[in-house]
Amino acid sequence: MKRQEPSSTVSHSKSPLFFIGKNSRGNWVVQDQHHLCGGLFIDRTAALRFALFEIGNRPRAVVMVPGVLELDLNGSPSVVHLPETQTDASCAGQAA
């Protein structure tokens, strides 16, 4: 009899990534790579807390987006790369 692994032991390679960035209005956005989960947040701390909770506290599965990230739960992610001078450098590459 073949045993199937419980979902909690599935490899991390199949786990979703979460993207965090600011939208064009300055709100913090969290969006998973499959567009099933996400939201708008008042600050970076709240956005990061939500993303880490959703992925089981795995900071390596959080990607900080250096451009504009618009929340889209119906299609592909909308990431607009801005010129280097307009990028929010304080959050680029930080994932706690």
What percentage of the chain exceeds 70 in pLDDT? Answer: 61
Among the listed residues 53, 82, 49, 40, the one whose alpha carbon sits nearest the alpha carbon of residue 65: 82
pLDDT of 73 reads 81
pLDDT tens, residue by residue, 8-51 = 433 444 678 999 999 999 999 999 998 889 999 999 999 999 99
Task: Record the pTM.
Answer: 0.62
Q: Are 23 and 70 in contact (CB under 8 A)?
A: yes
pLDDT of 84 reads 52
